[in-house]
Amino acid sequence: MKRILALLFALILIQNATAQIKQADQRLKLADSTIIEMPQIVIIGKRDGLISKVPGSATVLNSREIRLTAPLTSNEVLRKVTGVNVVDEEGAGLRLNISIRGLDPDRSRNVLMLEDGVPIALGPYGEPEMYFTPSIDKMSGIEILKGSGQILYGPQTIGGIVNFFTADPPSQEIARIKISGAKGGFFSGFGTYGNTIGKAGILVSYLHKRADDLGPTQFRLNDLSAKIRYELNSKSNLGLKLGYYEEESNSTYIGLTQTMFNQGDQDFVRMSPYDNLPVKRLSGSATHQLEFNDNISLKTTAFAYTTTRDWQRQDFSFSSTSANQTGVQWGNPAVSNGAVYMLNSTGNRNRQFQVAGIEPRLSVKHNLFNIKNVLETGARYLYEKADEQFIVGSNANTAEGTLRDKEVRTGYAFSAYAQNRFDLTKKLSLNAGLRLENFDYEREILRGRYRINGVNNVIRDTSIIAKDNTMALIPGAGINYSANDRINLFAGIHKGFAPPRIKDAITATGVPYNLDAELSTNYELGTRIKLNDYFNAELTGFILDFKNQIIPVSNSSGNSNASGVVNGGRTLHKGIEAGFQIDLGKMAGLKNSYTFESSITVQGSEYSNDRFISANGITVNVKENKLPYAANLMIWNAAGINLQNGFGFRVSGNYIGSQFTDEINSEVPSANGRTGKINSRYIVDANAYYRIPKTNANLNLSVKNLTDQRYISSRRPEGIRVGLPRLITAGFEIFL
């Protein structure tokens, strides 16, 4: 912390000695208003007023909101969005687990995750998991869409879309430096430079982020990216984006047992100190935008990325009789399944992913039926491949060893879509569209464990290839009615779709499970209200009626489901979302700003049909049980003050209601910590900031978990995760 403060002081002295620095307000406005938009896919759009045209619940969090939050991770920013629950895993936000409207948050599988409109999951169709998470430090905003407009994007159209967007090249020279630090060796340093010369604009950014002891987590990451915009002619533009990301952390699956948590002094002990997860990602995309005339435009995006994720994990057991123990144990051996015994071996999960796609998107304004229409139509071809190896290490700290499993999973996806907006009157518009998704996939097993001549787990080379296919038509429709300039009403219905993971859909012996795609019918009804620039609100009611929800048994979900990956049957999600923001200062005509904002979600997510599972030797019908990690009540609120003298302050609170962690809704915690009810919690954060006079520099001081509340954030994947205690961060930002 002393080094951080010394660096802050030195930068301030340098800043005050620079004669070319202008007033802070002018510079901040320049940073936000002189951006030349890249030719790239946008979900909602950054300009004011665009959200009122969306036929469904939508939120745009801009750069100002991110600055006010001074977030440690993107989780803090996303929690203010109605209907969204983010489950912390390691405290550093490296693995994003997002739940929208009661869907399972595991690795954000049920959410379409994008950055600048391009997919970022390991495999968007066959393995839609978030092992790479865009760093909030470099984001200029986030779009969240939950309504019928989802059918323009895919493959997931169930819960919603989260699109992180980065800054675009500026129209004139701008540089920015932002640093922050905290105890435990936490440091974040971000720098960016952009300019436009002639017809070419460029923005280059670099982020370095690290921590030695952020709760249980030690990590470092480097993120280098560049965006280039080139005006080919008056009607044609080209946008390029390149990225390199590397990260290494002590991410682990093992968590606390219930007795360890009850003891209270081992919250962040490193039970498996040799676990190590390096992630590397290379990405590139190119978008060409062509304006044929004022009514017709074509936007074509090509993208490709590779992700390497080689995870070294020490083996462990809940059985005291397990062979090959190291002698290290955790928990209470006197309690059945209450202790963890560390083993002198590793199970190393090495995986490499490749994704490539191309998508032309045509926008046409026309006058069908003598009314104004806007048609958006396009198609996408996507290829993805996953190479996976499981390597058994011979001691507790090795990534080398014997190859046990080896396989290749490939997928070929084609999608096509069309959505037309009919402007029936100046106030009433109708959106109707259709999306086609077709996914052909195969699983090739080259080495694995088998039962041979009555002997289990015989490792041998093989050549098993199995194929399957998923295809669906996804319709959607929505209406939007502007009663006046202040009140907007919307309603929508669309089909939710998500393909099954390849690994779930075909067994390790090459037998297709014939899993159906996840299908739901989603309904929305809501209103948006905006009064001048000092009050806005949104109220939405929703229903997600699943015909079939896939119940996965993945390591990351804790393997808590009893009977394997199955067509889980009908589930029902319904609720009400409400949010508002008011600026009492602007409302009263004052120079200072006094804001209050709040969002609340009341929802119910349950199994709506008979489904029998075996638990502890008893067959249980889980009908009307709550879905795992689906809180019934979520509240976020904040109060802030922004004074003309440069000082500002905001305090926010986040309430998450109690949650069950398994299908049978176990109230009593299991001894190993993996199941049991998670109690409700209310976490308070505070942020103070100061704009240094006659400069374009800002200071901020943030306190996370102000009341130092101790709570369970998750019981996944393999035990209890405790939320971060009180943490104070200091930051500095300057525009040059």
Question: What's the average pLDDT block by block, 10 residues per block, for the chain (736 residues)?
Answer: 44 38 42 60 66 80 89 93 92 92 90 94 93 93 87 89 93 94 96 95 97 95 97 94 97 94 94 96 96 95 97 94 94 92 96 97 94 95 97 94 95 96 93 95 90 80 90 93 91 91 77 77 94 92 85 55 54 95 93 94 92 81 91 96 92 96 92 95 96 90 96 93 96 92
- In whole angstroms, how far apart are CA 232 and each of 101, 286, 290? 44, 14, 10
Residue 369: CB partners within 8 Å, gap ≥ 6? 422
Sorted by where each starts, the structural domains of the chain and their CATH numbers stand as 2-314+331-358+378-735 (2.40.170.20)
Q: What is the pLDDT of residue 500?
A: 83
In whole angstroms, what is the distance from residue 653 CA to residue 682 CA?
Answer: 7
Q: Please report the beta strands in 484-534, taking only residues with DSSP state E, as ranges in sequence order.
A: 487-498, 518-531
| Nearest in space to 153 (alpha carbons), one of 185, 189, 121, 114 | 114
H or E, element range at 20: none
- In whole angstroms, how far apart are CA 19 and each of 354, 460, 695, 736? 49, 72, 10, 11
Main-chain dihedrals φ then ψ at residue 10, nearest 5 degrees = -65, -40
> Which token pair is 20?
């070319």
Q: What is the pLDDT of residue 28?
A: 44
Torsion angle of alpha carbons 42, 45, 50, 56, nearest 10°?
Answer: 50
Q: How many CB atoms lie within 10 A of CB 650?
A: 20
| Nearest in space to 662 (alpha carbons), one of 706, 707, 702, 620 | 620
Q: What is the pLDDT of residue 15?
A: 42
Sign of CA pseudo-dihedral 212, 213, 219, 221: negative
How many Å is the Cα radius of gyration of the chain?
26
* Exposure string over 390-419, b if 16+ CB within 10 A, otherwise e: bbbbeebebbebeebbbbebbbbbebebbb
| Nearest in space to 348 (alpha carbons), one of 291, 407, 275, 288 | 275
Which residue has tokens 């995986």? 351
* Burial class (CB within 10 angstroms; exposed 0-12, middle 13-18, buried 19+) of 516: middle
H or E, element range at 6: helix 2-16
In whole angstroms, what is the distance from residue 727 CA to residue 714 CA?
Answer: 19
Q: What is the pLDDT of residue 147?
A: 80
Q: Are 10 and 268 in contact (CB under 8 A)?
A: no
In whole angstroms, what is the distance from residue 465 CA to residue 608 CA?
Answer: 36
In whole angstroms, what is the distance from residue 335 CA to residue 670 CA?
Answer: 10
In whole angstroms, what is the distance from residue 358 CA to residue 504 CA?
Answer: 27
Cα 420 to chain centroid, rounded = 29
In whole angstroms, what is the distance from residue 138 CA to residue 243 CA?
Answer: 12
Q: What is the pLDDT of residue 54?
A: 78
In whole angstroms, what is the distance from residue 297 CA to residue 295 CA?
Answer: 7
Q: Are 89 and 107 in contact (CB under 8 A)?
A: no
Residue 34: CB partners within 8 Å, gap ≥ 6? 170, 171, 172, 174
Residue 97: CB partners within 8 Å, gap ≥ 6? 86, 87, 88, 89, 105, 106, 107, 108, 130, 714
Q: What is the pLDDT of residue 564?
A: 45
Q: Are 683 and 723 in contact (CB under 8 A)?
A: yes
Q: What is the pLDDT of residue 50?
A: 61
Q: What is the pLDDT of residue 349?
A: 95
Sign of CA pseudo-dihedral 38, 283, 67, 683: positive
In whole angstroms, what is the distance from residue 407 CA to residue 387 CA?
Answer: 6
Q: What is the pLDDT of residue 694?
A: 83
In whole angstroms, what is the distance from residue 476 CA to residue 148 CA?
Answer: 6
Q: What is the pLDDT of residue 485?
A: 85
Q: How many CB atoms lie within 10 A of CB 288?
A: 17
Q: Are 171 and 150 in contact (CB under 8 A)?
A: no
Instruction: Note the pTM of the prediction, 2 decimals.
Output: 0.91
Q: What is the pLDDT of residue 416?
A: 97
Q: Are 667 and 676 in contact (CB under 8 A)?
A: yes
| Nearest in space to 648 (alpha carbons), one of 593, 705, 696 | 593
| Nearest in space to 498 (alpha carbons), one of 151, 117, 83, 130 | 151
In whole angstroms, what is the distance from residue 133 CA to residue 125 CA?
Answer: 17
Q: What is the pLDDT of residue 5?
A: 44
In whole angstroms, what is the distance from residue 160 CA to residue 98 CA?
Answer: 10
Q: How many CB atoms lie within 10 A of CB 600?
A: 16
Q: How far apart are the first and last CA of the chain?
A: 25
Q: What is the pLDDT of residue 177?
A: 95
Q: What is the pLDDT of residue 7?
A: 42
- In whole angstroms, how far apart are CA 573 and each of 265, 474, 717? 38, 19, 24
Helix, coil or strand: residue 136: helix
